[in-house]
Amino acid sequence: MMIATQHVTMRLEAGGETVTILDDITLDIPEKQTVAIVGPSGSGKSTLLGLIAGLDRPTSGTIWLNGREITQLNEKTMARLRLANVGYIFQSFHLIPTLTALENVSIPLELAGDRHARQRAIELLEAVGLRHRVSHYPVQLSGGEQQRVAVARAFACRPPILLADEPTGNLDSHTGQHVIQLIMALHRDAGTTLVLVTHDQQLAASMERVITLRDGRIGSDHLTALSYDESDDRL
């Protein structure tokens, strides 16, 4: 499995009380599958995505990424593993404001020691339609353009896993649709495993699998018609 969690629970202390954010989450996500995690606000969707990425540690349970158990890794080792295996798209873009679009996309490549970081970054920005914006800073870009830079950055190191937290949440419907089309096109070209958190039911239905969280637990987990159609195509 590309992603696996076993009995993952996340609890936080708030106001002297223990609040359970996630409760006994067990799931397996195979290579190249596209998955939507849906559910009401506060159901634990973003927390689960962050745990899968190794951005936080669960209170209990285990998580595997690309065959590696990550819950006991120290921060430095986890950062290296994440750089090689995970692309992460944030709802609020998380671009570095003092760097240009080109520099923002180049960062993970430079950290990975890619000698052709600049050229690879230019190619990615061209792929998302921003070749003419390479020298612009985030403040000079629209929300949609900033998210497209974030998409290019997430794919920079050709990660086998792409995680996206409400990637269209801060965008209008037209721009959001364009960003999703870019994500799906890059996903198909790179053969990534794609997991995204969304409130958009239409977007969720375009994934092969939909996992619904309710009160921190898995309420439902089913394959969509798209999954069966693509399975037929592979026969």
Q: How far apart are CA 92 and CA 146, in angstroms?
A: 9
Tokens 């998210």 sit on residue: 147
- With a cut of 70, which residues of the chain have pLDDT below it? 227-235
Domains and CATH numbers, the chain: 3-234 (3.40.50.300)
The overall pTM is greater than 0.85? yes
Please list the alpha-helical segments (H only) found in 155-172: none
Closest of 151, 125, 130 to residue 141, by C-alpha: 130
pLDDT given for residue 228 in this prediction: 58
Concatenating the DSSP letter of every residue in 193-210 gives EEEEE-S-HHHHHTSSEE
Q: What is the pLDDT of residue 229?
A: 60
What is the predicted pLDDT for the residue at 235?
A: 43
